[in-house]
Amino acid sequence: MAETLGTLCDKLTIVKLKQYHSEDEERLLSLAQQQEQLIAEIEEFISNAVRGEIPVEKLTFRSNKVYKVKNNEIQLVKGTIGSVFGKLAEVNCLLWHEQEKVYEFEKVAASEKDRVVKQLAILNLERTNCIDEIDMSLVKLLAK
């Protein structure tokens, strides 16, 4: 996948979640390095975009998700880059905790299994919408 501001932000939120859930010192050091690298990549990406060094068509990589809209309603995400980044972090946190249930799916009550799978699908759609909105917000900001 091509890197965009949205995908870099997504990766950073995941690193932060891993840091939060880890107690292993070696892993935390590695994650701290990843965090610094991602922050540097985000800053470089934005600087390059502002200077016009990234062609507009490479600022976005729309997910173009194909799914049934009926019975799969998701929140429309709009706002500033910062507010959508915050929403992306929230969605990834929810996604993390829902995914944890799948690792021991046999322990999930039969009556809850469909809900867990459905929630994973919805959260993944919201995640890609946040990534796309961050990218589109940057394009709009640069067009001004």
Q: What is the DSSP string of 62-75?
A: --------TT----
The pLDDT score that the predictor gives to residue 99 is 93
DSSP 104: T
Q: By residue range, what is the domain housing residue 59?
A: 5-143
For the residues 88-100, what does the mean pLDDT come to? 95
Q: Residue 15 is encoded by which pair of tokens? A: 């690193």
pTM of the entire structure? 0.88
State yes or no: pLDDT of 138 exceeds 90: yes
The pLDDT score that the predictor gives to residue 75 is 75
The pLDDT score that the predictor gives to residue 74 is 76
For the residues 12-31, what does the mean pLDDT come to? 97
Task: Determine the Cα–Cα distance for residues 51 and 14; give it in Å rounded to an integer.
Answer: 28
The pLDDT tens digits for 27-80 are 999 999 999 999 999 999 999 999 999 998 889 887 666 656 666 677 778 899
Q: How many domains does the chain have?
A: 1
Q: Which amino acid is at 70?
A: K
- Cβ–Cβ contacts within 10 Å for residue 101, how many? 17
Task: Determine the Cα–Cα distance for residues 96 and 94; give it in Å rounded to an integer.
Answer: 5
Q: Is 45 helix (H, G, I), strand (E, B) or coil?
A: helix
State yes or no: pLDDT of 90 exceeds 50: yes
